[in-house]
Chain A
């Protein structure tokens, strides 16, 4: 925990990404320790999603470097803002996709897909097509697909933003349970202060575009989150994050 400096799984050193329309990130330094749940929050357009894409290797930084504990990226899982399922494939085929693309043998694929579907509680929806599922079910399917490859690092880009609040609360708790079970490291993006405070070990606040880290807040939540949403420590974290975001806004206005 803390700044994760002891042995970060991944570290960004002064990372920048410039697009033809201007820089999205500039001088972003950030490290995530193995097993940590780190959340990025910041004004819209501050480069949160760009950061995840850079870490995933879907995009290349124009300045700075990204280093990995093992020298190379470990197995990654990515959960997009949209469920991003193949509409022509059933739940089982969707979850199996990453393993099939990597040529994992059929027997092992079947067992791991079954386990991933059970982990998100979709056993009864195995044969359904995405259009037959609710928004919450689709997002669960998307999470199952991200977990089926047994990732050490899961990147999540505002995965619950489009869901109603009750579904989001339930998926928040499911996510914390899955993370406990798998021991995966999570780098999470959200624009909800409450979601960030509830889920994270550590919250990194980014400045307005071009984004860089302006606050690094250790949340230190209890392992058992029952009642945490209504506790004083939770509210204190929320207020600290909100204050940092106000500073980001003020810096932009100045």
Chain B
């Protein structure tokens, strides 16, 4: 690993946390206004019995929604390349769902569906469109010359899909997944807040709302840190997958070109 690339952000983070800790201690800010980072860390450990199960609930919702959105988005994009009329028919619906804020849709979904299903649906809806749009773009931008070459070799449509269209769309598909991964977490959090269900099945976002009602600010921060870490982990995982799949051939993943 290259130290000169890790050192600056690590140093900046340490400085910011140090300033925060020092500021809270010197000014004597009470914990219900702004807890010090050390207190947040302690709360994270002390409340782990409440927070970790909730983290798992939110993570599971996010990952299941992402998987469904990936399957649905890529699948529909493939259908679109084979039937343009289907794209013209369905694309407006996808756009309407995308431009309507999920915060506004969530309460409606909660009327029609049980809470876990509604939360899953919200997370799915926000992740679905970027994956569909990016996959469609990628599948439609296949090199015309290569398409001709496949036709000359009398390739079947299946061969053309698996050996040409999907590999050539892979960079865009992965870009869609990276966006969708972050958004499905947003969707899950928004829906959990709108649902406001307490009890065993409650996700992290509900823990934030709950802690807010109880003026338990350190726990709010602790839950927030977990959500941020979950988002980072999803992003890092998808970025790693992207690099791994594209490394030998795509400019975006060539070592030393990532700025």
A, B in one complex? yes
A→B interface (CB under 8 Å): 53, 56-58, 76, 78, 80, 82, 84, 86-89, 97-98, 101-102, 129-131, 149
CA distance in complex: A102, B152 (Å):
10
Q: Which of B149, B154, B249, B254 contacts A88 (CB 8 A)?
A: B249
Chain B residue, CB-CB nearest to A58: B148
Give me 11 other A-B pairs in contact (C-beta within 8 A), A98-B153, A102-B153 excluded. A56-B152, A78-B149, A80-B149, A84-B145, A87-B249, A87-B250, A88-B168, A97-B163, A98-B152, A101-B155, A130-B249
B47 at the interface (CB under 8 A from A): no
Q: Once the chains bind, are B145 and A82 in contact (CB under 8 Å)?
A: yes
Interchain CA distance A9-B105 in the complex, whole Å: 67
How far, in Å, is A129 (CB) from chain B's closest CB? 5
How far does the Cβ of A126 sit from chain B's closest Cβ, in whole Å?
A: 14
Contacts of B146 in A (CB 8 A): 84, 86
Asked whether any CB of chain A lies closer than 8 Å to the CB of B159, the reply is: yes
> Top 6 nearest A-B pairs by Cβ distance?
A84-B145, A101-B153, A98-B153, A101-B155, A129-B249, A88-B249
> Is B154 a contact partner of A101 (Cβ separation < 8 A)?
yes
Chain B residues within an 8 Å CB radius of A101: 150, 153-155, 159, 163
> In the complex the two chains form, is A129's CB within 8 Å of B248's CB?
yes
In the assembly, what is the distance between CA of A130 and CA of B168, in Å? 14
Docked Cα-Cα span, A238 to B153, in Å, equals 36
Give complex CA distance A146, B149 in Å. Answer: 10
Assembled-state Cα–Cα distance A131/B250 (Å): 8
Total residues of chain B contacting the partner, CB 8 A: 22
CB pair B167 A78 closer than 8 Å: no
Q: Are B154 and A102 in contact (CB under 8 A)?
A: yes
A5 to B: closest C-beta gap in Å? 28
Q: Does B78 contact A (CB under 8 A)?
A: no
B74 to chain A, nearest CB (A): 17
Verify B153–A97 contact, CB threshold 8 A.
yes
Give A88 to B173 CA distance when docked, in angstroms. 15
- Tell me if A88 and B167 are in contact (CB < 8 A): yes
- Residues on A with beta carbons closer than 8 Å to the beta carbon of B143: 84
Question: Measured between C-beta atoms, what is the minimum distance from B218 to chain A in Å?
Answer: 49
Does B52 count as interface, using CB distance less than 8 angstroms?
A: no
B154 and A84 contact, CB distance less than 8 A: no
Considering the chains assembled together, what is the distance between the CA atoms of A149 and B152 in angstroms?
11
Smallest CB separation, B258 vs chain A (Å): 15
Query: Can you list 22 A-B pairs, Cβ within 8 angstroms, ordered by A?
Result: A53-B148, A57-B152, A58-B148, A78-B149, A80-B149, A86-B146, A86-B167, A88-B168, A88-B170, A88-B249, A88-B250, A89-B249, A97-B149, A98-B152, A98-B153, A101-B150, A101-B153, A101-B163, A102-B153, A129-B249, A131-B251, A131-B254
State how many angstroms separate the Cβ of A67 from the closest Cβ of chain B: 20
In the assembled complex, the Cα of A88 lies from the Cα of B163 at a distance in Å of 10
B148 touches A78 (CB 8 A): yes
Nearest-Cβ distance from residue B243 to partner chain A, whole angstroms = 14
Which residues of chain A are near B238, meaning CB under 8 Å?
none
Chain B, 65-113, CB within 8 A of any chain A CB? none
Candidates B148, B153, B248; contact of A80 at CB < 8 Å: B148
Indicate if the CB atoms of B151 and A58 lie closer than 8 Å.
yes
Interface string of B153-184 (1 = CB under 8 A from A): 11100010001100110100000000000000
A80 CA to B168 CA, complexed, in Å: 19
Q: Which A-chain residue is minimally distant from B152 (CB atoms)?
A: A78
Report B-chain residues with C-beta under 8 Å of the C-beta of A131.
249, 251, 254
Chain A residues with CB under 8 Å of B250's CB are 87-88
A58→B168 contact, CB < 8 A: no
How many Å lie between the Cα of A76 and that of B151 in the bound state? 12
Q: How far is the CA of A102 from the CA of B99 in the complex (A)?
A: 46
Cβ A84 vs Cβ B251 within 8 A: no
Nearest-CB residue, chain A, relative to B167:
A88
- Give the shortest distance, in Å, between A147 (CB) and chain B (any CB): 14
> Which residues B206-259 have CB closer than 8 A to chain A?
248-251, 254
- How close is A135's CB to chain B, nearest CB, in angstroms? 15
Known: A86-B164, A88-B167. A76 touches B152 (CB 8 A): yes
- Is B149 within 8 A of A84, CB to CB? yes
Give the CA-CA distance A131 to B145 in the complex, in Å: 17
Q: Which residue of A lies closest to B146 (CB)?
A: A84
- B152: A residues at CB distance < 8 A: 56-58, 76, 78, 98
> A80 to B146, alpha carbons, bound, how many Å?
10
Closest to A59 in B: B148
Return the contact of B145 from the options A57, A76, A80, A130 (Cβ within 8 A).
A80
**Closest partner residue, chain B, to A127 (CB atom):** B248
Shortest CB distance A41–B (Å)? 22
Cβ–Cβ < 8 Å partners of B163 in chain A: 97, 101
Nearest Cβ on chain A to B75's Cβ, whole angstroms:
21
